Amino acid sequence: MSQISSESINKNNGIKNEKGNNDFSKSHAYKNLDSPIRALNLGPSLAQNGGMATVQQLILKHVVGQTIQPQHICTHDEGTILYRFRVFLFAFFKYLQKLLRRDVDLVHIHISERGSVIRKVILILLSLAFNKPVLVHTHGAEFQVFFLELPIFFQKTLSYIFRQCNGFIVLSKSWQDFYTSQLGLDPRKVFLLSNSVELPSDLPNRSSRKKISFLFCGRVGERKGAFDLIQALALLSPTLRSQMKLIIAGDGDIEQAKTLATQLSVMDQTTFLGWVKPKHRDQLLKQADVFILPSYNEGLPLSILEAMAWQLPIITTPVGGIPEVIVSQENGLLINPGDVQALSHAMQSLVENEEFRLALGKCSRETAKSFDIATYGERLACIYDAVLQDHR
């Protein structure tokens, strides 16, 4: 087993440990390298919407230097079934070519659930056949539901394959517990590495706003709570609704959401933007007053961390790794999934109480500093070192 344990790394990740310590030691064990680690990232297209693509972009942009040389192969993209199959087939042979050329030191596989699991299991088996160290980076908000619905035989098969890998990255303590208890993974190989964000420096003055802007960023649909959000808006009095606006940025069931907003007579207060590019998203975060994401399932949403970096108070739900970051009444408000009445009340409280809203935002920004991308490379280098040592 590696000399660097997941315990030593996990003590210093962006999520508070039991002692509440967020500090991360910048020293790591991978020293005296003759050449950088050629770390190949296998995951969805960098142009795709969603957190997995964003995390890969941050790795390729920031995690590079004397110790790590990241690379990327696209294994999935949106489109027809035939197109998606062709993308994966091309990725398979491109990866095989790199293996034959010995152009890979470590393979970093990004995985979610369902079809992603099938594709990545094939790539894991190929990696193991070539005796390459494998690090699996889990992102799926619904992996738990997917896994527990599998027949027992497939659960055991998937668990066995995952146990052959040299390391697992999870986004929160709750997911760390799930992978070790339900899949039987070695706790020493399960590394807690939260998503990271770039901290903006030009924060706006959000006091004395005429209208309070609530921003939702994510796939429009039931899982992210978009329909609950529209219903919660409808429960507010017309006077209160006139003091606020709701901006929904994301693809998905937009027409269904628009129909609901029209039926509930809140279309005048609601703007649907569809999916927005990163620059537009940052502008929305800069202009917003509150970020809201009433999800039913999550890992640790990058959108919440990005909103916190922009000093926004958060209204969300205690699912996945969220309650390890958001403390209700301190840097945001937590409501149970599906509790539309509580969601409406939380929105009302942040419209009516500016002092409270601004205080939550300031604390939110302080929390976000623990997730600064500046330290992400150091933590990932520690994990790469542990994976390589485990493989020796």
> Among 106-110, 242-246, 381-385, where is mean pLDDT lowest?
381-385
Burial class (CB in 10 A: 0-12, 13-18, 19+), 298: buried
R_g of the chain computed on alpha carbons: 21
Which residue bears the tokens 């230097």? 65
Distance from the first to the final alpha carbon of the chain: 9
pLDDT higher than 50, residue 357: yes
pLDDT band at 52 (very low <50, low <70, confident <90, very high): confident
The more confident residue out of 56 and 374 is: 56
The 10s digit of each residue's pLDDT in 338-355 is 999 999 999 999 999 999
> From start to end of the chain, where are the E strands?
37-44, 68-76, 106-111, 134-138, 167-170, 190-192, 212-217, 244-249, 270-274, 290-293, 314-316, 332-334
For helices 51-62 and 376-391, what crossing angle results, to 10°? Answer: 90
Domains of the chain in start order, with CATH, are 6-196+372-391 (3.40.50.2000), 212-371 (3.40.50.2000)
Q: CA–CA distance from 365 to each of 191, 194, 368, 370 (Å)?
A: 25, 16, 5, 9
The DSSP bridge partners found for residue 138 are 111
Pick from 183, 190, 184: which is nearest to 167 by CA? 190
**Average pLDDT in the chain:** 90
What residues have CB less than 8 Å from 6, skipping those under 6 apart? Answer: 167, 187, 188, 189, 190, 191, 192, 386
pLDDT higher than 90, residue 200: yes
What residues have CB less than 8 Å from 86, skipping those under 6 apart? Answer: none
pLDDT higher than 50, residue 27: no
The DSSP bridge partners found for residue 375 are none
pLDDT at 26: 37
The DSSP bridge partners found for residue 213 are 245
pLDDT band at 4 (very low <50, low <70, confident <90, very high): very low
pLDDT band at 25 (very low <50, low <70, confident <90, very high): very low
pLDDT at 19: 35
Do the Cβ atoms of 192 and 6 come closer than 8 Å? Answer: yes
pLDDT band at 10 (very low <50, low <70, confident <90, very high): low
The 10s digit of each residue's pLDDT in 124-138 is 999 999 999 999 999
The 10s digit of each residue's pLDDT in 246-271 is 999 999 999 999 999 999 999 999 99
Do the Cβ atoms of 271 and 303 come closer than 8 Å? Answer: no
Q: What does the chain come to in residues?
A: 392
The more confident residue out of 63 and 272 is: 272
The more confident residue out of 166 and 7 is: 166
pLDDT higher than 70, residue 73: yes
**To the nearest whole percent, how much of the chain has pLDDT over 70?**
91
pLDDT at 89: 97
